Each structure stands twice: as structure tokens, then as C-alpha cells.
Chain A
Amino acid sequence: MKPDAVILAAGLSSRAGANKLLFPLGGRTVIEASIEPFLSTCGRIIVVGGARFEELKSALARLSPGVEVVLNDDYLYGMFSSVKAGIRRVGSDRFFIHPGDCPLVPASVPERLLSVRADIVLPVSGGRTGHPVLIDSRLIPEILATDAGSNLRAFIASHGFETVEVDSPGILLDIDTRGDLEKAERNLSREQGRTVADALARSVPKVDNPEKLSGRAGYIADMPFPGMLHAKTVRSTRPRARILSIRLPEMPGGYFTVDRNDIPGRNRVHVILDDQPVFAEETVNYIGEPIMLVVGPSKAKVLELASAVRIEYGDLAAVFTVEEAEASGAPIVGGENNRFAEYRYGRGEATRVIGEAASGVSGSRVFADEISTGYQEHVYLEPQGLVGLYDRERDRIEIHGSMQCPYYIRNALAIAFGWEPGRFRVVQTCTGGGFGGKEEYPSLLACQAAAAAYKTGKPVALILDRAEDIECTTKRHPARIGFRTAVDPEGRVTAMEVEVRLDAGASLGLSGVVLQRTMFTAPGVYRVPNLAVHGVALATNSVPAGAFRGFGAPQATMAIEIHMDHIASSLGMSPLEFRKRNMARKGDLTSTGGTYAFDVPLEALAERVIASSGYRAKRVEYASACLARGTTAACNGLAPLRGIGMSFFLHGCGFTGSGERDHIKAKVRLARREDGTVDILAANTDMGQGLLTTFRKIVASALGLPLERVSFEKPDTDRVPDSGPTVASRSIMIDGKLLEDAAIELKSRWDEPGEIVVERNYRHPDRIRWDDSSFIGDAYPTHSWGVNIVEVAVDPVSFEITVTGVWAAYDVGHAVDERIMRGQVEGGILQGLGYATIEVMEKSGGRLKQRTMTDYVIPTSLDAPPIESSFIDNPYPDGPMGAKGAGELPLVGAAPALASAVENALQARVSRIPLTPEYLMKAVRHAG
């Protein structure tokens, strides 16, 4: 005879606020999870309800049909009254009693209890008794006769009981608060050894799947605005020149030009220093610089008119490379002596230590490298585009379009127009990828489209075609990074000097901030007791470089990691051993002298990928296979050379230093509507990375509501507060945390009538100390970590690289959604592999050589290798659900691991990316 189970579900959930039994838990509810272990072992399941009985009953009718739900009218008298109400229904010879808020009991526990013959049997884990309890039905009359003021625990204690050791901490955990739930799940996950621990990280379907899959999603180019005009930009064809004259074709009625004279306020795009004009003034400073728009109703006519504009230039001396920019006597094209930004930081006495090591006194050695990295183009599939509208009645401007940062745009418009910011409304439309490319550049487009709308009184669409987008929008900064590193006889780095040069292009834009991240990331994950870092962002007459996923860190990580490989090989050490000897650990100083305050799990991450990739054996085997072949000439007709390489990396999460506190000052709101739904009011944008889903998941989890009852629309600055930009891997960690906190407050006020609005402002954690003038302290609130291994096959004749496998392990705190996180990882890795290999962008005389997607290629499905990725759970206390930054990290580590693999395959050193066949051929010749 199967035993019955009595599930106690009558309590008031007073501590948890909402009905905790209906909290979502890995795709079901707490009560369902509590019932589940009894479904196979028990005959009847009797759920005793009380408070919120109807809610419980309907939930269980929907979710667990076949379960009997009985009402305990006396539930206010306490749990013992529910025990009695339940056991009156028991018909079996033994029965379980189990709380409805104890969801983590493995199904094996009831089975184990049944194997013991005794009046009362309890499970024990870690020396403590837990749930459920198994009772012989002969005791029922005795329990029913026990005084109502007593309780089951006292009865069990007085009667005596047997125990069964089950080693399942889940039996000890009941859920009183959301915190309990998270803690409980993490404990259980560890016990089960799962890769991504928390059941709350399990994946939900992305909320925007249906509209995107069916083609109904509205991107800006899909949206009709009545009476809309089309705009085409007339651009500079000279890298640096004075504009002598502009001759316009005859403009038919209804066609206009819009230029700097149509900017009502300052003709400047507000980024940091406002050094970029909205439309060119007397001089142009790069090929592609916007000079004017031609605007009108027929797109074809607009294109025709724009191409008929004749501009007479007087050429000026220009600089095209960082070397030219630095040369004495160079024409000054921007900043102070062509230096837009220049910084230094460090500690100890790097120069002295390196000098001593170079003299060989201490047995130390000095290793030098100069690593360069190229441009990278974002190639978001949706080109940039915005529509500007002028509302004459209300004297307001609206911008709709593809963007990452609605408030950046609003602030830029306020300066270009000289109006109050409140007179602008900025609305994000479905955005087809950003990767940083839609961080600052849309501010320029918005000022132009707004000026055109203001002048014409009609909606104006300014939508770039691909060639324009490639030629004229920002890209990743080319970098040149030099190292001089002293290493003692034990293989420990004692000092490092780093020189960073970024090619900023024709205006500062965000280059100063990018430079800071390159500099702070330059020593990588390593302990460097004496450090001196110097960096400059140089002006050249090229398209301005800007934000791109990783924001200066991919350049630095590529450089330091290949430098570490070179040192290891010079020392005759394995790259792994050399890294382990030098990598930072919890409590060590960061590059800027802050503290790694949390676990640095590099060792654990490395173990995973080393084991699954077979790195150690392959690294040795591939090297000797290459060496055995002799010179490359002998390689003709032979099979590809194989190689395997690794990278250790970090990514500083969020804004640098005090940015959040002093500049961003994020604000979010939650609004509980009368119908019990909750609206997220935040300015963060989903450009594909999944924020529409993950923000809702964070709030729904904290409130214990189903996802469908929480909504989050694309931001509209008339509706949402300024939560800061969607950049720097900050949205979930910073704004997600504010939303989680707001949700916890909202939950505590849930019973208030009517609409409730909860607002949260960013508060800087006290532990984060930063000095912006000396660059000393915690440059970032925390770091995310990764270890990558990449395996390649290199054709010995064509030097074409095929990536044959990628193994990647990360610490992103706690993944809010596993499936979304995997998407970030695989997409980021492939962007990083492209960066290191086939994504080539060069310039000649200030003109980019690659200006179409035929010339600038990105990886296709045939280029994408199998990727095996995993995460370790390392919850971050200041992030929602333990999450920290995750979006940029996966791109950062791929290129150096690939470069290391290519070195392993060819037994030759490389010192730049992209690794084109021509470059590899030279590298091999040099090595030979």
C-alpha cells in the first residue's frame, strides 16, 4: 500500500509578502516543487490550504491535477490545526507530512524513509533533522487528541523517532523569503554539481521572439511616418581641407539642404569634450565627414541631388598614422600636439627594477614586445538610422530609431538646439544589433535629423546604407601596445612598463575613456608589483574611432596575453605554468592598486577547459609535429598544421571609477498598476542581448510573479527616467540591481491599494574607492573572469586559419538566464575570432580600403567553430540574483587564445592581429 502525503499550505506567507508558495522556481512554483518528490512514491496527495485558498486551489488545479486540496477553516490557529485537518483524510497505513514551502527535497528522500520500519522516521542532513516526516497511521488518534496549543514537533519529540542520514541539505530549507529561495537553490545546485547552479538561471523564452521570428518587429526603416522625407548626407571626400565653396544643383520645390547654419544652438555633438561638429564648418577633417543633408520626398531624387552637390576644397597637410601624428613638425590636426588624451599611472619603481634586471645583476631578465591590433567594424546587421519629427503645436522634437542610449541623444539635442532637454522626446525602436556602435554615433545622426525636421516641419528619415555606415561610423581603435617586463629567476614578474597608443581619428569622442580601459587592462590578470603605464590617444585625419564591445580591453588583452606567451617560451616554461605563477588571487592588488575583493576563480576556470580540451598533451604534440616538419618549404602538400592556445582574462564590470556616482546617477522606477501588473520604467535598451527578457525576469523573480505580469517596453524618454546608457556591461549589474531592490520594496508594499510607484537611485558601494586624478583605487566595482582555449588548423601553403574548437569557461557572477548567456558567449567569441583573423580594415591616405561587406568580411556559419562553454557560479553581492557584467567579456579572450594557437601551430611568433595569410607567411619566414 502506497503511503499518503499531507502537504501543509495554509500559512499566511507573512514574511515573504506575496504568496510564497506560488513563487516561480525553475519553470514551476514552490508548492509544485514541494509536492513533486511524493508523486511517484505516494498514493494520495492531500494539500491543506487556508489563507488565499482560492488562489492556491486554482493554481494547483491548473498545475497539478489529481492533487486533493482541502480547506482548513482553523488555519489561523496555527500549523498544527492544518496537520490535524490533513491527517483526518489519510487512508494509508503510513503517511508523510511535508511543508508546502520546502521545495528542494530529492525524490529519493521519501523512498529512503520508507525503507525504515518505525513509528516516526525523520531525515537527517548535516546533523540536523529536516522534512518530510513519515508517521505510522496508528498514531493518528493520538495526534488528533493532542492539545491544539501544542505542535507536531513537540509530539514527535515526546513520542521518539528514528532517523535516516540522507545528505541532502534541501531537506533543511524552507522558503520564507526570496533570499531563502536563492540561497536554497544555490546550495542544492552545488550539491548536485551543476555547471550553472541556480535554478533561477534556467532559461525562459525571450519575450520578443514572436515579433522577430514573424518579421513583424518594427525596425526604424520599417516604420511609416506620414509625409516623411528622406535625407542623404553629403560628405567630405578629403582627409583634411578647407571648404572653399559649395555649389548646389537647382533644388526643386519641396527639396532642402540642411547644414551647420540650420543648427539652432551649438554646432557640436555632445559626447565628452563636444569637439565634433554636427555638420562640418570651415574645414573638414576626415573622409566621410558630414557637410550637409539633402532632404526631400523622393528618395531617388534626393540621391540624385546629393551627388550633384559640388564642393571645392583647399587641401591641408594631414596626418594618417599615429607615427605621423607623433612626429616632430607634424601638422596639428587635433588635441594638444595631436594628443587628444594622455595618461599615466602605476606604482612602485618599474623603471629602476627593469633597469637592474636588464643589467643582469639579480639573475632577472627583461622581455620586450610591441603588439598591434587593427580596426574592427561592428557590422550590426541593421545599419544606423533615425527619424526626426517636429511637433509644431507643442514646439517639441522627437527622435525615433536604432540606438543604445536614448538619454545620450536627448542631452546632445539639448546642446545642439540650446533648448531645455524636456523639449525632446527620444524613443528607441527595435534595434538590430549595437555592440557599442550605437552608443555615441546616433547622437550625431539625431542632431542632423532633428535639424532637418525642424527646418522642414516634416518627419525626416536619416537611414544609412551599408557602405556609408562602414565608411563613416565609429570603429574599434587600432592600437599599438609596447611592454618591457622584468621577470625574476623563479619566473615571477617583478616589474612592467606599458606604452599604449590608440588611433582616435579626427575627434576625441569617447577615446579618452577607451584609452583608460586599455591602460587599466594592460597588465591583464597578473600580479605586477612595480608598474608604469603610459598611454596616448592620437589625432589622425581618419574616421573617429569609438565604442565597441570591450571598449579598449580587447586590444590590451590581446597584447598582454601574447606577451605572456612570449615570455613563457623564452623562459622555457609552459604558458599555463607561467600564468599560474603570476596570476592574481583574491586580496591582491588590481592594476590600479585597488583590491580584488572577491574570488578570483582563474584556477577553477582553467581546470575545466584544460581537461575538456586536452590542452596539455595537444600543446606539446602540435609543437613537435610542426618542428618535425622542418621549414615551411617542406610543408607543401602536407596536412594542416595544428595548434592550441589559451588566454586568461578579466573584464572590469561597468563604468570606470566614480563614473556611476558622479556622471551617470542612474534612476529606475517600478509601477504596480491597479490590475496587479508591474511596469519596468528604465532607459536601458535591448539591442538583441536580451534585456527585455532579463530585466523582466529579475523583477518577476524578486516579486514572485509570473513573467507575464511584468512588462518592459522599449524606452521612451517621455516615459522612463534616465537609467544611464546601455554600455559597459552595466545594465544588469547596475540597473538590474536597482530594479531588484525596487521590486523588494514593492513586494513589501504590495497590499497598498491603487497604483504604487517605487523609485530607486544608484548608491555607490562604500567599499569602492577611486581617485580620478591619480588613477589609484578600484577602477571597477568588480571583475568578470574567463579562460579560453582555441584550437586551430593552419594550412601550411595558404596560411588560412581554420578554428577547429573553442573551450570557454567564465565567471559572470550568476547568469540571470543560461540560454541568453550562452548566446552572448558564442556571439562574442565569434566576433573575437573574426577580429583576430578575417576582419581586416586598413586605411591608405586617410581612406578606408574596405568599404563594403564584400571587402570587410565577418564570419559565416561555415567559419563558426564548435564552442563548448560553461560558467561557474560566483554570486556577486551587489548584483541582481548575484549577476555581474557579462556582455563584453566573451569577446575579450578569443583573439589572444587564437593567436597563441597559431604560434603553437607554426612555431613562430606573431605580434599583431588580424593574422592574415600574408602576415603569417612573413612571420614563419622570420622564424625560419
Chain B
Amino acid sequence: MPVDVSFVLNGKPVTVTADPLERLLDLLRVELGLTGTKEGCGEGECGACAVIVDGELADSCLVAVGSLQGSTVETIEGFRETERFRVLEKAYADAGAVQCGFCTPGMIMASEALLRKNPRPDAEAVREGLSGNLCRCTGYGMIVEAVLDAAEKGSGSW
């Protein structure tokens, strides 16, 4: 039974009529055309579909649309318009942290979620903060360097 759900998506209020059990991932990708969020496993293991819901990193394949009433949802499409994204974008490029790119939007959202809570993390905290996001290409070292670099260069942004 479809229901109306109102929430804030990338800073703008939206109301959708959807099956409450529909996955947020499908709402974003199929209904709203926000394809920057990726589906890698559909079971909350890989983090390719990570978005930020009410300030917390969440795998959108595990979030039911019906649970979003009154929530705030941020995806890569909104975050890429910010200054903090530009800091992370440069740091990722400088570190060589992007290979196939499929994990990248989720990894960026995880980096943002981490830096909001801990603006000056050490390497261990970065590894912990990204541990829900799998990457099969890089071996993670260059991604960790990117986040540390962003924290330093973007000091004061988070």
C-alpha cells in the first residue's frame, strides 16, 4: 500500500508516494534518477550505496522508504555541490584513490560522515570509518591517505 513520505533530500523538501518497504536505493536510482549511489551487493556489505541519513552513514539498500518521514537524506548529488566535496575530490585525486570508481561515491560519503564527527582523524580512525565500504582495486592505502590529506588541507571545513 503506497504511502506519502516527506523528507529533506539534498537540502530540498520532497514528498514521495511509495511502498513503505521500498529500498531507499531504488527510490533514489529508479524514481529520482540519482544514479551516483551504486548497488554493489544489495545486502549491506559493500557500502557502494552509502548515503547520509540524519547525519549517519547508511547503506541505502537497507533503508526502507517508509522509515524516512521527517528525515534528512544526503547523496553524492547534493554533496558534490559543496566546498567540502571539493577538498575531498582534490585529495582523492592527489592520492590516486580512484580506480574503477564504483565504490567511490559511497567512499566519499563515508569520508564526509567520518570527518563531520572527527575532523582530525588519525589513520586508524580513518580505516575504522571506511571499514563498511569495500574497495577491490586500491588496497585502501591511498584512500586512507586521501582522507587524512583532506582533513589537513580542509582544516576548519568540518
Residue ranges of A at the interface with B (Cβ–Cβ < 8 Å): 203, 205-206, 208-217, 219, 221-222, 224, 378-383, 430-435, 465-466, 687-690, 819-820, 822-823, 825-831, 852-854, 858-862, 864, 866-867
| A829, closest chain B residue (CB) | B139
> Within the assembled complex, what's the spacing in Å between the Cα atoms of A293 and B26?
23
Instruction: Tell yes or no: B141 within 8 A of A by CB.
Output: yes
In the complex, B128 has a CB within 8 A of chain A: yes
Q: Are B48 and A466 closer than 8 Å at their CB atoms?
A: no
| Mask: chain B, 81-92; 1 = CB below 8 Å from A; 0 = not | 000010011001
Q: B127–A853 contact, CB under 8 A? A: no
Q: How far is the CB of A254 from chain B (nearest CB, A)?
A: 18
Contact for A853 among B43, B101, B137, CB less than 8 A: B43
- Contact between B141 and A826, CB atoms less than 8 A apart: yes
Chain B residues within 8 Å of A211, by CB:
101
Q: Which of A221, A224, A688, A867 contacts B139 (CB 8 A)?
A: A867
Q: Knowing A205-B93, A823-B142 are in contact, say whether A381-B136 is a contact too (CB < 8 A).
A: yes
Chain B residues proximal to chain A, CB less than 8 Å: 29, 33, 35-43, 45-46, 48, 75-77, 80, 85, 88-89, 92-94, 96, 98-105, 108, 126-128, 130-144
Complex Cα spacing A866 to B101, Å? 22
**Closest-CB distance, A417 to chain B (whole angstroms):** 31
Q: Is A826 touching B99 in the complex (CB atoms < 8 A)? A: no
Check B105 against A853 for contact (C-beta < 8 Å). no
* Contact for A379 among B33, B98, B136, CB less than 8 A: B136
Do A433 and B100 form a contact, CB below 8 Å, given A215-B35, A823-B138, A826-B138?
yes
Contact check, B40 vs A383: say whether CB atoms are below 8 A apart.
yes
B104 x A827 contact (CB < 8 A): no
Question: In the bound complex, do residue A433 and residue B102 qualify as a contact, i.e. CB atoms below 8 Å apart?
Answer: yes
26 CB < 8 A contacts A-B: A206-B96, A209-B89, A209-B93, A212-B101, A213-B80, A214-B36, A214-B105, A215-B35, A215-B77, A217-B101, A222-B29, A222-B35, A380-B102, A381-B135, A383-B40, A430-B101, A689-B137, A690-B99, A827-B139, A828-B139, A853-B134, A854-B43, A858-B136, A861-B135, A864-B139, A864-B140
Contact B43 A826 (CB under 8 A): no
Tell whether, in the assembled complex, residue A823 and residue B137 are in contact, meaning their CB atoms are under 8 Å apart: yes
B128 to chain A, nearest CB (A): 7
Q: What is the bound-complex CA distance between A689 and B101, given in angstroms? A: 10
Query: What's the minimum C-beta distance from B90 to chain A, rounded to whole angstroms?
Result: 9
**Chain B nearest CB: distance from A404 CB in Å?**
12
* Cβ B99 vs Cβ A689 within 8 A: yes
Pairwise interchain contact A381-B48, C-beta atoms closer than 8 A: yes
A822: chain B residues within 8 A (beta carbon): 96, 142
Cβ 8 A contact of A688, one of B41, B80, B93, B137: B137
Q: Tell me the minimal C-beta distance from B93 to chain A in angstroms.
A: 4
B16 to chain A, nearest CB (A): 17
Are A820 and B98 in contact, CB atoms less than 8 angstroms apart?
Answer: no
Closest A residue to B75 by beta carbon equals A215
Contacts of A381 in B (CB 8 A): 38, 40, 46, 48, 100, 102-103, 134-137
Q: Closest residue of chain B to A432, judged by CB?
A: B102
Nearest CB to that of A206 among chain B residues? B98
B100 contact from A203, A382, A819, A866, Cβ within 8 A? A382
Task: Report the minimum CB–CB distance from A241 to chain B (whole Å).
Answer: 29
Please list the 8 inter-chain residue pairs (A to B) with the smallest Cβ-Cβ separation, ordered nearest first.
A215-B36, A688-B100, A432-B102, A212-B101, A826-B139, A688-B99, A222-B35, A215-B76
Chain B residues within an 8 Å CB radius of A852: 41, 43, 45
B140 near A382: Cβ-Cβ < 8 Å: no
Given A214-B36, A381-B100, A861-B130, also A853-B41 (CB < 8 A) = yes
The closest CB in chain A to the CB of B110 belongs to A861
Residues of chain A within 8 A of B40, CB atoms compared: 381-383, 466, 853
Complex formed: what's the CA distance from A381 to B139 in Å? 13
Residues of B within 8 A of A379 (CB): 134, 136
**Complex contacts, A435 vs chain B, CB 8 Å:** 136
In the assembled complex, which residues on chain B have CB atoms less than 8 Å from the CB atom of A829?
Answer: 139
The complex places the Cα of A825 from the Cα of B96 at a distance, in Å, of 12
Cβ–Cβ contact A215 & B141, under 8 A:
no
How far in angstroms is the closest Cβ of chain A from B36?
2
**Residues of B with C-beta under 8 A to A205:** 93-94
Whether B142 contacts A862 by the Cβ 8 Å rule is no
In angstroms, Cα B135 to Cα A859, docked, is 9
Among B105, B133, B138, B141, max chain A CB count under 10 A is at B141
CB contact between B89 and one of A206, A213, A221, A688 (< 8 Å): that residue:
A213
| Residues from chain A with Cβ under 8 Å of B104 in the complex | 212-213, 215
Min CB gap B97→A, angstroms: 8
- How far does the Cβ of A860 sit from chain B's closest Cβ, in whole Å? 5
A208 proximity list for chain B (CB < 8 A): 98, 101
Residues in B neighbouring A862, C-beta threshold 8 A = 127-128, 131
Query: A205, A215, A379, A431 — which one has the most chain B CB atoms within 10 A of its CB?
Result: A215
In the complex, which residue of chain A has the Cβ closest to the Cβ of B40? A381
Task: Tell me which residues across on chain A come within 8 A of B144, comparing CB atoms.
Answer: 861
Contact of A219 with B102 at beta-carbon distance under 8 Å, contacts A213-B108, A214-B80 already known: yes
The CA-CA distance from A224 to B31 in the complex, in Å, is 12
Contact A213 B92 (CB under 8 A): yes
Least distance between A468 CB and chain B CB atoms (Å) = 11
Given contacts A688-B137, A827-B136, 8 further A-B pairs with CB under 8 A are A219-B102, A381-B102, A382-B38, A466-B40, A826-B142, A827-B99, A861-B128, A864-B139
Chain A residues with CB under 8 Å of B94's CB are: 205
CA distance A208 to B105 in the complex (A): 14
Assess whether B139 is in contact with A830, with CB atoms less than 8 Å apart: yes
Q: Which residue of B lies closest to A852 (CB)?
A: B43
Most central of B40, B45, B102 by chain A CB within 10 Å:
B102
Q: Are A210 and B89 in contact (CB-based, < 8 A)?
A: yes
Task: Tell which of B38, B98, B133, B138 touches A209, judged by Cβ atoms closer than 8 Å.
Answer: B98
Please measure, in the bound complex, the distance between the C-alpha atom of A558 and the C-alpha atom of B57, giving whole angstroms. 39
Chain B residues with CB under 8 A of A860: 131-132, 134, 140
Whether A687 contacts B100 by the Cβ 8 Å rule is yes
B88: nearest chain-A partner, CB-CB: A213
Q: Are B43 and A466 in contact (CB under 8 A)?
A: yes
Q: Are B98 and A212 in contact (CB under 8 A)?
A: yes
Return A880 CB to nearest CB of chain B, in Å.
20
**Using Cβ atoms and an 8 Å threshold, which residues of chain A touch B35?**
215, 221-222
Q: Report A866 CB to chain B, min CB distance, Å.
A: 7
Do A219 and B45 have beta carbons less than 8 Å apart? no
- Alpha-carbon distance A822/B127, docked complex (angstroms): 19
Contacts of A209 in B (CB 8 A): 89, 92-93, 98
Which of B42, B45, B96, B136 has a CB less than 8 Å from the CB of A465? B42
Name the CB-closest residue of A to B147.
A861
Cβ of B103: which chain A residues have Cβ within 8 Å of it?
Answer: 381
B residues in contact with A382, CB < 8 Å: 38, 40, 100, 102
Assembly CA distance A831 to B99 (angstroms):
15
Residue of A205, A214, A822, A858 contacting most chain B CB atoms (<10 Å):
A214
Interchain CB contact under 8 A, A215 and B131: no
Min CB distance A275 to B, Å, is 30
* Bound form: Cα–Cα A369–B55 in Å: 55
Which residue on B lies nearest to A821, using beta carbons? B96
B136 contacts which chain A residues (CB < 8 A)?
Answer: 378-381, 433, 435, 827, 831, 858
Query: How far apart are the CA atoms of A308 and B113 in the complex, in Å?
Result: 43
Name the residue of chain A whose CB is nearest to the CB of B129.
A861
How many angstroms from the CA of A395 to the CA of B138 in the assembled complex? 42
Which chain A residues lie closer than 8 Å to B108 at the CB level?
Answer: 213
CB distance from B23 to the nearest CB of A (A): 12
- Residues on B with C-beta less than 8 A from A825 are 139
Given A215-B36, A823-B137, A860-B131: A431 and B45 interface contact (C-beta under 8 Å) = no
- Contact between chains at A861 and B131 (CB < 8 Å): yes
**Complex: A867 Cα to B45 Cα, angstroms:** 25
Which chain B residues border A430 with CB–CB below 8 Å?
Answer: 101
